[in-house]
Structure 1
Amino acid sequence: MMKIYYYLLAAAIGAAACACTEKSNLASPNGNIKVDFRLTKDGVPVYCATYCGDTVVAPSSLGFDTEQFGSLTGGFKQLSVIHSDFDEIWQPVWGEFDSIRNNYRQMVVELAYEADTADIRMNVEFRVFDDGFAYRYVFPSQKVKELTIIDEKSEFAMTANHTAWWIPGDYDTQEYEYTRSRLSEIPAKHEAALVGNASATPFDKNAVQTSLMMRTDDSTYINIHEAALVDYPAMHLVYTPETYKFISALTPAGQSGHAAVIHMPFSTPWRVVMVSDRATDILATQIIYNLNEPVALDDTSWIHPVKYMGVWWEMITGKSQWSYTDAENFDLATFDYSKARPHGKHGANNENVKRYIDFAADNGFDQLLVEGWNTGWEDWLGKEKDYVFDFVTPYPDFDLKALNDYAHSRGIKLMMHHETSGSIPNYEQHMDTAYALMNRYGYDAVKSGYVGNILPKGEYHYGQRQVNHYLDAVRRAADHHIMVNAHEAVRPTGLARTYPNLVGNESAMGTEYRNMAPGHVTILPFTRLKGGPMDFTPGIFEMDLGKFSPDNTHKRATIAGQLALYVTMYSPLQMAADMPEHYAKHMDAFQFIKDVPVDWSDSRYLDAEPGEFIVAARRGKGSDNWYVGGVTNEQARTVDVSMSFLKPGVKYLATFYTDTPEAHSDTNSQAYAIHTENVTSNTVSSVYMAPGGGFAISIVPAE
């Protein structure tokens, strides 16, 4: 009875708080979302929010714990409130759309904390869009020049025991499968959600990571994330049992006892809450990009989407290796590879790389990634060595110049690979030289990796120092006209708008994890992809990995479902991740990968439910060709695809790539069918998806 009374009281307080004076009230352009701000009698900053009249965020306090001034969570005075409106249309360098509307209403609340030991000016800046709202802390120029933040105390008070899709809070990795549970079940399910990783630091059984996807019992969708993460640690969310409240928790700066040191003036990242009564709106929202700054580069003409293959999957599955020799316990600086005995399993050898180049070129790909090309792979994983790779010295069987020349003669480029082994100082020391080597040989894209624990020891992947490093690498790459695809880095927060040469990230469990549940790909677009594109590496056609790598098992997917990922999981950097010999057996299905664009003029999310299924349609950049993809979880389902996105009065030819009735991700993954139909904007096609499967459709104007 006491618990029921508590929730009724909380709801009453929430209703009251969301009816503040007009001065501290802010509504979205369409009026559906309203945010209220107030100071309590103790000077505690509090906000709440409603959607269509219903409270979605109950009263939630704001503030910080600091080293110099203690708790900055109360004792504030309100100086002024400034309202403004903003509306623009901007064109991304690449993206899901030709143009994006950025329309919001803004409220800046100017606050002062005055005490015997401190005189702090802090503004809270709110922006409310039609599909969500955001706030950040802004510290203007003032007498205090530096602030050491122990932790941020931003609250997100949910109103009930929502259903959530979450991964455990971890300072070093997001490579987890998502858990679906009620909020109240997070602590109990936390341990079961943990998996091994080369570097993992889970820190609290109540902690989860953003983007956090939730659904209320009356089907309102709520998503919490952050935007514009610059010079600041990544934010986690710690659940408070029995209150349905989350409190921010910043990634600490090693063993220092604090999270961040900021210098005035300073703006924190945006804390973002997306909300809608339609799941497809969460997929389509561009709020994260809109909260980032416009392009910071003077020239973006050299930045372009990339469809690529790679000498990679054969290493991941164990068919070949990154290393060149079995030699052990050597000093890389003095080891003579020319005298070493090769173990014969090195994948990045001249003959094999040429084989991939030929297949990629023959089938219209842009680039070929080659991993394991450079010395050092024998002596790195898990050893936490300051110096492993120099990023410029190839193995004896990898002719750097000849292979790049050959690729260029075939009309494609090689893609560089920089595995840093987590040693930040070493990579920073060698970075410009490595980029210069890329310029010399014609590389224009690099896949960087941060596998293992971060060095210096005690630092974390998502701490302030590392966040600054990742962005510095992107900025320095831009100076060399190089695009970056960062793996194991902090999850993206929309910075690709400002630095569009950041064409991809991993920062989630991708294809290389072979036994994840099929429903994983129906959750990622609601969570990880809200901050930016993921290099998920789709396109696996041979699911029975044991056929060529005896220590491996079966990948849970179907060929038709793999084709669908090129549409449902947006990225300007898309890989055909399997090996040429596997594609050669299914060239009719491979045709879709060859045809599907990696840049778009328009995108439509036709139907979706997190953890269940997604159906999306996209129009190629500057084209009248449309592509549709659908993926499902372990449940078979038939969906009706309305072609109403097509131009009225125009006839199109649609090619369907579908699971057959016998297909199953676990037992019959290569059972697919291909057929064509004439369609118009009035057509509604029923399409079957097998358990763990999906479908893809290419639609072109009829001759």
Structure 2
Amino acid sequence: MRNGWLHKTLPGVMGALVLFSGFSAASQSMALSSTQGANTIALSLTKTGQLQYRVTHRGQLIVADSPLGLDCDDQNFTAGLSLVSVSPIDRRRETYTLKVSHVKSIDQVLNHRSITLKNKAGARLIIDLVSGQEGVAFRYRFPDQTNQRRVINTERTGFRIEKKARGWLQPYNKAGKVTPGYEDFYLNVHPGDSIHNPRNPSVGWCMPALFQVNGGKHWVLLAESATDGSFPGCHLQPDSRDGLYTIAFAEPDEKYTLPLGNDNHPVSTLPWTMPWRVLIIGEQAGEILLSSLITDLAPASKLDDTSWIEPGKATWSWWSHPEDQSPQTYNAFTDLAASLGFGYTLFDAGWEKADKAGGIIAKATAKGIKPMVWAYSAAYFDADQRRKRFKELAAMGVKGVKIDFWCSDRQEVMACFQSLFADAAREHLLVNLHGTTVPRGWHRTWPNFMTAEAVLGTEHYFYEARYPALAAQQNTILPFTRNVAGPTDYTPFALTIRKYPRLNTAVHELATAMIYTSGVINFADSKEVFDSLPVPVRQLLKEMPASWDKTESIVAQPGEQLILARRQGGLSYLVGINGTDQAVPVRLNLAPYAKGFSQFRVITEGDDPLMRFKTETYPIRSSWQHTFAPRGGFIIQFIKE
């Protein structure tokens, strides 16, 4: 009732309030709440015309008064602002389906409102607000129309988090040989803490950034959505004194081998609509994990026909044979994909020579396996070369591309991604980005975008001495951070002992294939390891889907434990991982997940926890007790016979 009343009467009331009450009325009026009133974002102007906002959840402060504003080359929107108008509340329903997601069908109601301001020169700035049951968001918009380009020198946007909050933040690595690539550890920090012991020299903090606030009562994830070619990908400045985290643009030297200039500032003609700054809010961490707010705010799918886009599983030889690019090895992994019922195989670096020598593409397609191939970013940056190459690959029978080594959040790279997704879709090619930034809702707009790296995944058993000791913990953090941003190519199931020996149990590694969501799951390890698996584990791999109809969070403790219920069609699973080095008791009510099933199969640690599995089958019962092995896991598979 209250929101309906506001929608009908607000414009007239607003005029009266502004006319008679001045600043305080304007401050009160520039607010937006979700339909049920759970989440509110409220803007206000200081006496000097500086714009700020705050965010509350059921009256509890989530983000305290924080600055907004843009300083441009031709206009300044950081002070001297005054209110022009506040739009009525526009209630919009977002209903769509995703090819790759925790939940296939999305149905969300979001309230929208636009606040128009002007600076002392009369130039206009619009702040679009959104509030829904999962959080709030805002973005900047310049409504004027001109062919003259505007440059943003600085963005004042900040997020003021209480100093007592607990955070999980990832350092944003400065430009280097293979950085930035969002491949660092998420560190447990408090607002105001400096960056300590990153994997590489760092210049800030990544988004998404996760905080637990109000004495542990609430969670908030800071993220972005709808970043396109009009803006760079952004991160957070390293200095968070007084708990204020502020926006930073991609660095000037984030070029890698791409033909980029030295200016890293956002630039566009007008009108100009910028990306959403997203704050996902929950009373439980599981609400963060399951949120669709990032895709809710992304543009709708640009593809009319998506029938050719199929999520699936892939074999991948690089992890087990990084130096072997022979046709024999690639063909063996094609055969492995066929034996496991996987739809895809990924041919990594060196595949061109192997195809010329041994026809690996033709052999894969002859077996009904869809080949995906590795590529280098510099070869796909130029639009004409990219389109020509995509046509050639499609003619060969290639079904997808893994394009690697972007190492940049620059605006030009964000623009390239949008064109790349479109060009690939014209040739019915799937896309996997590596050495790259995090997704920002792109898998809704471009359903052929199946997955991206931007994660400290299993390849770091080769490269990072600290990885084995921290991998289990990270696996219980990343689903609440990185995987919320979009599909994650973690390359799960790495059992063979590498340079830095694994400490996670084999079941933990297997479970990550069902914990992370990725449109194409690229499985690590060798044919010999897969061939040695017990029959129930091989059967699980055959049946396991790559995308889900429904996901439920049962235990959600970032850095500690995570248990999910996953469903697709007639398949139902419970999957858990332990992020600690302690044994942890578990007791689960099976009844909500066992309807229509007569038995459940449990996969846990075998006599050699690092390499072996134990499988047991039981009649359905109401509850199940288990003790999580240190860095362990389990999978419950409900079966009908």
Counterpart of 1:177 in structure 2: which amino acid?
F
C-alpha offsets along residues 112-150 of structure 1, whole Å, 9 cap, x if unaligned?
1232xxx42110001001111000001113357421012
Alignment of 1:256-655 (within 5 A): 256=262, 258-316=264-322, 321=323, 347-374=324-351, 394-395=352-353, 397-399=354-356, 402-420=359-377, 422=378, 425=381, 428=383, 430-450=385-405, 461-514=408-461, 515=465, 516=467, 517=470, 518-542=472-496, 544-545=497-498, 552-588=499-535, 589-620=537-568, 623-635=569-581, 636-646=583-593, 648=595, 650-655=596-601
3-state secondary structure, aligned to 2:419: helix
Residue 211 (structure 2) pairs with residue 214 (structure 1):
yes
3-state secondary structure, aligned to 1:398: helix
Distance change (3 Å), C-alpha of 1:93 and 1:191:
closer
C-alpha offsets along residues 588-627 of structure 1, whole Å, 9 cap, x if unaligned?
333322221112211111111111111111111xx22202
Residues 588 and 624 in structure 2, CA contact (< 8 A), matched pair in contact too: yes
Residues 57 and 158 in structure 1, CA contact (< 8 A), matched pair in contact too: yes
Displacement after TM superposition at 1:530 (Å): 1.3
Alignment of 1:35-114 (within 5 A): 35-69=41-75, 71-82=76-87, 83-114=89-120
Residues 100 and 518 in structure 2, CA contact (< 8 A), matched pair in contact too: no
Equivalent position to 1:677, from 618, 621, 634? 618
Residues 653 and 679 in structure 1, CA contact (< 8 A), matched pair in contact too: yes
Counterpart of 1:449 in structure 2: which amino acid?
D
Residue 216 (structure 2) pairs with residue 227 (structure 1):
no
Counterpart of 2:187 in structure 1: which amino acid?
T
RMSD across aligned C-alpha pairs, in angstroms? 2.2
Residues 602 and 636 in structure 2, CA contact (< 8 A), matched pair in contact too: yes
Q: Which runs of 5+ in 1 are unaligned?
A: 1-16, 196-200, 322-346, 375-393, 455-460, 546-551
Residues 563 and 593 in structure 1, CA contact (< 8 A), matched pair in contact too: no
C-alpha offsets along residues 354-407 of structure 1, whole Å, 9 cap, x if unaligned?
222212211211111111335xxxxxxxxxxxxxxxxxxx32x53378322222
Residues 348 and 398 in structure 1, CA contact (< 8 A), matched pair in contact too: no
Q: In terms of mean alpha carbon deviation, does 23-32 or 88-97 score higher?
A: 88-97
**2:19 is matched with which residue?**
none
Residues 161 and 191 in structure 2, CA contact (< 8 A), matched pair in contact too: no
3-state secondary structure, aligned to 1:78: strand
Counterpart of 2:46 in structure 1: which amino acid?
T
CA distance in 2, matches of 1:94, 1:651: 26
Residues 45 and 62 in structure 1, CA contact (< 8 A), matched pair in contact too: yes
Q: Which runs of 5+ in 2 are unaligned?
A: 1-22, 175-179, 254-260
Distance change (3 Å), C-alpha of 1:161 and 1:302:
same
C-alpha offsets along residues 506-557 of structure 1, whole Å, 9 cap, x if unaligned?
0121110015112111111111111101110001232x23xxxxxx231232
CA distance in 1, matches of 2:531, 2:24: 61
CA distance in 2, matches of 1:162, 1:372: 44
Displacement after TM superposition at 1:671 (Å): 4.0
Displacement after TM superposition at 1:191 (Å): 3.9
Counterpart of 1:688 in structure 2: which amino acid?
T
Displacement after TM superposition at 1:242 (Å): 4.0
Residues 41 and 54 in structure 2, CA contact (< 8 A), matched pair in contact too: yes
Equivalent position to 1:174, from 182, 188, 208? 182
Counterpart of 1:202 in structure 2: which amino acid?
S
**1:184 is matched with which residue?**
192
Residues 90 and 102 in structure 1, CA contact (< 8 A), matched pair in contact too: no
CA distance in 2, matches of 1:294, 1:642: 38
Distance change (3 Å), C-alpha of 1:373 and 1:194:
closer
3-state secondary structure, aligned to 1:43: coil
Residue 602 (structure 2) pairs with residue 656 (structure 1):
yes
Residues 564 and 628 in structure 1, CA contact (< 8 A), matched pair in contact too: no
Equivalent position to 1:688, from 621, 627, 637? 627
Distance change (3 Å), C-alpha of 1:564 and 1:505:
same
Displacement after TM superposition at 1:240 (Å): 4.4
3-state secondary structure, aligned to 2:390: helix
Distance change (3 Å), C-alpha of 1:242 and 1:161:
farther
CA distance in 2, matches of 1:614, 1:121: 47
CA distance in 2, matches of 1:699, 1:400: 45
C-alpha offsets along residues 281-318 of structure 1, whole Å, 9 cap, x if unaligned?
011110001010110112111111021001211344xx
CA distance in 2, matches of 1:21, 1:72: 17
Residues 191 and 242 in structure 2, CA contact (< 8 A), matched pair in contact too: no
Residues 28 and 34 in structure 1, CA contact (< 8 A), matched pair in contact too: yes
Distance change (3 Å), C-alpha of 1:264 and 1:494:
same
Alignment TM-score, normalising by the size of structure 2: 0.88
Residues 597 and 620 in structure 2, CA contact (< 8 A), matched pair in contact too: yes
Counterpart of 1:149 in structure 2: which amino acid?
I
Residues 560 and 672 in structure 1, CA contact (< 8 A), matched pair in contact too: yes
Distance change (3 Å), C-alpha of 1:67 and 1:586:
same
**2:247 is matched with which residue?**
248
Counterpart of 1:367 in structure 2: which amino acid?
Y
CA distance in 2, matches of 1:104, 1:18: 26
**2:11 is matched with which residue?**
none
Alignment TM-score, normalising by the size of structure 1: 0.81
Displacement after TM superposition at 1:21 (Å): 6.0
Residues 401 and 431 in structure 2, CA contact (< 8 A), matched pair in contact too: yes
Residues 55 and 159 in structure 1, CA contact (< 8 A), matched pair in contact too: no
CA distance in 2, matches of 1:405, 1:257: 45
C-alpha offsets along residues 226-258 of structure 1, whole Å, 9 cap, x if unaligned?
111112111111254541111111114447455
CA distance in 2, matches of 1:50, 1:534: 30
CA distance in 2, matches of 1:368, 1:449: 17
**2:202 is matched with which residue?**
202
Residues 161 and 184 in structure 1, CA contact (< 8 A), matched pair in contact too: no
Q: In terms of mean alpha carbon deviation, does 73-82 or 244-253 score higher?
A: 244-253
